Structures are given as C-alpha cells and as structure tokens.
C-alpha cells in the first residue's frame, strides 16, 4: 500500500528537529512533502498553495506558533496547526489550544506526531463537512423561502392575469364584428357575444347546418341568408364546430360574419372581368382581322410585281404578318387569353407555311416533337416570328430541285422554366450568305434580334442539313 502524500509546512529554527518530524511522519505511513521556515515573511509566502498541516515550534526566535495561528486566522485559512515544542507548560498548552491549535506535543514524544496529524486532518474534514452541511441547509431554507414567495407571487400574478384575460375576452367578444354563439343539441342558444336582441334573433336564424354538425361531429362552413330586425336581407358566412363543456356536454359553437358587401363586390368584380374579357377578345379579333387584311394586301401586291426579289420580299413579309395574325386568332378562341399553347400554334403555323410553299412544301415531310408549353403574349409573338423564319429558310433552301427530305419542329420544356425550340432539316444546308451569326439576310437578323429580346441564345449547326436551336426562360403571365 503506498504512503499518503502530505504537504507539510514546518515552523522550526532547528533543521535537525524538522528532519526528525519528517522522519516520524514517514514511519506513520505518510509521504511528507515538507518545507521549513523560521521567519514571518517566509511563512506567509509558503501559505500559497496552502499546506495540509503546519507543525510549529511554540518558542521560535522570530516567529512562534501563537503568531502563526494569528496570521492564519487573519487570512481566514483553515489549516490544522500542531504545536511541537521542547518544553511547554500545561496552562500554555491549553491556552494555545483554545486559540485554535489542533494539538500539541513535546519533541521528545514525536511518536504521537503521526496520530496527531491524522486526528487533526480528520477534524478538519469534519469541520468542512459541517460547514458545507450548514451551508446547504441554509441555502435549502433560503431556497424554500424564495420558492414559497415565488409561488405566492405567481399565484397572485396568475389570478390577476386570469381576471384580466376574462375582462379582455369579454370586451373582445362584445366589440367583435363577427357574431359568436353557442347552442345545445336542442337548438337552445346558451351564449351570444352581442347582447342585443337583433344578434340573438340572427343566431336563431342560423340553424340550417346545426343538425348535420351534431350528427357528423365535423366542422362546417356555409353561406346563409338572414333578415335583420329592420327587414334587410344579409349574406352571412357561418362556421360551426363541436366542443365539450366542463360537464362533458356536446355543444355547438358558431361564428358568423356578414359578407354582404364582399358578395356585392365579388359580383361587381365578376361582371367587370367578364366585360374586360369580352373587350380583350374583341381587341384580339380586330387585330387578327387587320393583320389578315394586311397579309392579303401584301400577297396581292407581291403578285403584281415583275421583280422576283421584290416579290419574294413582300411574300416573306406577308408570312411574318400571317404568323402574328395566327397568335391573335388563337388567343381570341382560347379560354385563357393571357397565355397560349405554343405547341398547338407551332403545328398550325408550320402547316400553313408548308401549304404556302406549294411544291417545295409537298416534297418535304413534316414531323413534330412538341411539349405542351404555354407562353404569354410578350414571348409568343417573338417565338412565332422566330419559328416562321427558321421553317421558311428550310423550305426555301434545304431541298432544291426535286430533292425531298424531312423537317422536324421540336419544343421542349425543361427545369427552371427553360424552353428549347429547335428546327432541324436534312437538306443541303443554307447558302453561305444566309447562315451563321454574321448573316446579312433580313430573316436571320430578325431571329438574332428576337432571340436577344427573349433573353435567350441560339445555336445553329450545318452538317448534312441545318439544326437551329433557340433556348430561353419562360416568363410568367402578363
């Protein structure tokens, strides 16, 4: 079994006596880590960190046990001090014990040193346990008193809050514009938030859904007509629900709001929207008619021109006007005039282009791969013009002579509202002055301008045909 570590401060002017004390402690099973001092400054300096025990000579030339005790007490240090003296009278020994010494013994009886140290350390532990227990007891008593006081305050506060809540609730219910009521299963009104006779009469009229809620247990909402005491017919939105009172009875709760003004406003708004819808349809119809007139005039004028290039330019312009007229025609016929299904539009426009090109259109096969993509007017028109130019270019240049082939029109909708419009043919490709970003042709310049207007990008490839892809992000309704 290992020795017990013991930090010892020895107040002794004779080194040999200090050595004897340390030797005696070792014999009693301690492992003393000791220091010897004989002056007050050294003594005070060795109190930090505090030793486990102090062995002090009662009659040191510069510092004795009585002064050492006084220094400990002044600093509030509870360190056992055992007086070890060559000679000490009984009265002096009793006196220093009363002043706070843990024990005393003579130097010629150091055999008692080990037991005296053990006893002093045990007494110190008991004192500390007592102090701790008394502190805990006092803290517990204080805590209990504080808890009782806190509970009293919480009770007073809770009672005050309950009373304030009751007053607040009653005031809220009296001043609420909504009618609140409670009924039992016989239809008897137990509570109405507004004490007026008119409110009670209206609550009695609101009974159409009471039985259904009692039977199903499910809450309900309904709009009902009631008549006020002045004979006015009002529209009431009534909510009903079941709950139980303290006695366990099932009761019906109801809240009713007068929505007469809202219903009148809703009716007026519906009529205004219908008028606006009619006006928009008329606008689209007239714009479509005007564009068709312009398209017909351009077609007639082109037929009278002897110059082939001028005739072709007017014909291209006529096709562009026709592509816009189709948009207004489709918007005029659709239920939703804010957005149009571009896939359906693409089918019709492309087929019209094939018909207008006659023999060239007859030699080419048309194929579609179209997702349903709805576009608003601000994107519909530029997309329609872009499609018109790309398909027109394929019909003009892809299949010269008697050559046949295929034109694919693809429309895809991707994540994040991305829309991809692609026109692909397997013809001979575009002439050098037509294809590419630096093309001088009006059609490709239109495509470039409209693609930038959409905030998109275009990629065109010519390898065994032409593939033109325009990508942009779909906007919301306008």
User: Using one digit for the tens of pLDDT, what is the confidence trace for 422-475?
Assistant: 999 988 877 766 655 555 577 788 888 999 999 999 998 887 789 999 999 988
**Sign of the four-CA dihedral 377, 378, 381, 387:** negative
In tens, the pLDDT along 414-437 reads 888 899 999 999 888 777 666 555
Strands 405-413 and 364-370: parallel
**pLDDT for 90-145, tens place per residue?**
788 888 889 999 998 988 888 999 999 999 999 999 999 999 999 999 999 999 99
Q: Is the pLDDT at 146 greater than 70, yes or no?
A: yes
Give the rounded percent of residues in the chain with a pLDDT score beyond 90. 34
Average confidence score pLDDT of the chain: 83
Q: How far apart are CA 9 and CA 36, in angstroms?
A: 6
**Which pLDDT band holds residue 408 (cuts at 50, 70, 90)?**
very high
Q: For the domain bounded by 338-478, which CATH number is listed?
A: 3.30.565.10
pLDDT of residue 260 exceeding 70: yes
pLDDT score of 289: 60
Whether the domain at 4-129 and the domain at 179-258 fall into the same CATH topology: no
Mean pLDDT value of segment 291-313? 65
Q: Angle at which helices 90-98 and 65-74 pack, to 10 degrees?
A: 10
The answer, yes or no, to whether residue 8 has pLDDT greater than 90, is: yes
Q: Exposure string (b/e) for 14-39, b if CB count within 10 Å is 16 or more?
A: eeebbebbbebbeebebebebebbbe
As its CATH architecture, domain 179-258 has 2-Layer Sandwich (3.30)
Question: Under a CB-based contact definition with an 8 Å cutoff, are residues 296 and 290 in contact?
Answer: no
> Which residues fall within 8 angstroms of residue 458, CB to CB, at 6 or more apart?
447, 448, 451, 468, 469, 470, 471
Integer Cα distance of 379 and 420 in angstroms: 13
Residue 336 clears pLDDT 60, i.e. is over it: no
4-129 in CATH: which number?
Answer: 3.40.50.2300
Residue 364: what pLDDT?
82
pLDDT per residue as tens digits for the range 56-105: 998 888 999 999 999 999 999 999 999 998 877 778 888 888 999 999 89
Domain range list for the chain: 4-129, 179-258, 261-334, 338-478
3-state SS string for the chain: CCCEEEEEEEECCCHHHHHHHHHHHHHCCEEEEEEEECCHHHHHHCCCCCCCEEEECCCCCCCCHHHHHHHHHHCCCCCCEEEEECCCCHHHHHHHHHCCCCEEEEHHHHHHHHHHHHHHHHHHHHHHHHHHHHHHHHHHHHHHHHHHHHHHHHHHHHHHHHHHHHHHHHHHHHHCCCEEEEECCCCCEEEECCCCHHHHHHHHHCCCCHHHHHHHCCCEEEEEEEECCCCCEEEEEEEEEEEECCCCCEEEEEEEEECHHHHHHHHHHHHHHHHHHHHHHHHHHHHHHHHHHHHHHHHHHHHHCCCHHHHHHHHHHHHHHHHHHHHHHHHHHCCCCCEEEHHHHHHHHHHHHHHHCCHHHHHEEEEEEECCCEEEHHHHHHHHHHHHHHHHHHHHHCCCCCCCEEEEEEEEECHHHEEEEEEEECCCCCCCCCCCCCCCCHHHHHHHHHHHHCCCEEEEEECCCEEEEEEEECCCCC
């Amino acid at each position: 079994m290992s020795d017990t570590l013991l930090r010892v401060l020895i107040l002794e002017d004779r080194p040999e006596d200090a050595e004897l004390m340390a030797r005696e402690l070792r014999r009693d099973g301690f492992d003393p880590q000791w220091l010897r001092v004989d002056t007050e400054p050294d003594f005070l300096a060795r109190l930090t960190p505090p030793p486990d025990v102090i062995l002090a000579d009662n009659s040191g030339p510069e510092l004795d046990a009585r002064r050492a005790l006084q220094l400990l007490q002044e600093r509030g240090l509870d360190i056992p001090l055992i007086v070890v003296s060559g000679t000490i009278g009984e009265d002096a020994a009793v006196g220093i014990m009363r002043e706070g010494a843990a024990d005393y013994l003579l130097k010629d009886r150091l055999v008692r040193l080990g037991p005296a140290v053990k006893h002093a350390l045990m007494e110190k532990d008991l004192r500390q346990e007592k102090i701790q227990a008394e502190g805990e007891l006092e803290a517990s008593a204080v805590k209990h008193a504080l808890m009782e006081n806190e509970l009293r305050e919480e009770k007073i506060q809770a009672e005050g809050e309950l009373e304030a809540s009751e007053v607040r609730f009653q005031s809220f219910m009296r001043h609420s514009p909504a009618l609140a009521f409670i009924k039992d299963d016989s239809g008897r009104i137990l509570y109405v938030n507004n004490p007026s006779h008119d409110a009670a009469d209206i609550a009695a009229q609101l009974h159409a859904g009471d039985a259904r809620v009692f039977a199903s247990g499910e809450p309900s909402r309904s709009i009902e007509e009631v008549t006020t005491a002045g004979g006015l017919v009002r529209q009431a939105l009534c909510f009903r629900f079941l709950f139980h009172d303290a006695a366990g009875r099932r009761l019906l709760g109801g809240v009713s709001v007068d929505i007469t003004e809202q219903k009148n406003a809703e009716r007026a708004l519906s009529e205004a929207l219908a008028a606006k819808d009619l006006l928009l349809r008329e606008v689209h119809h007239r714009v479509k008619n005007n564009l068709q007139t312009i398209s017909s005039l351009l077609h007639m004028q082109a037929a009278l021109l002897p110059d082939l290039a001028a005739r072709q330019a007017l014909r291209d312009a006529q096709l562009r006007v026709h592509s816009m007229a189709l948009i207004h025609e489709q918007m005029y016929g659709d239920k939703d005039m804010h957005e149009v299904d571009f896939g359906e539009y693409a089918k019709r426009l492309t087929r019209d282009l094939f018909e207008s090109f006659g023999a060239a259109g007859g030699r080419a096969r048309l194929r579609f791969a179209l997702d349903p993509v709805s576009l608003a007017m601000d994107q519909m028109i530029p997309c329609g013009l872009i499609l018109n130019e790309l398909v027109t270019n394929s019909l003009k240049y892809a299949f010269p002579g008697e050559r046949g082939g295929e034109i694919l029109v693809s429309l895809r909708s991707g994540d994040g509202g991305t829309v991809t419009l692609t026109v692909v043919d397997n013809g001979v490709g575009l002439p050098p002055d037509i294809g590419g970003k630096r093309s001088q042709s009006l059609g490709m310049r239109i495509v470039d301008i409209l693609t930038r207007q959409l905030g998109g990008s275009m990629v065109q490839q010519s390898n065994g045909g032409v593939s033109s892809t325009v990508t942009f992000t779909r906007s919301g309704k306008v």
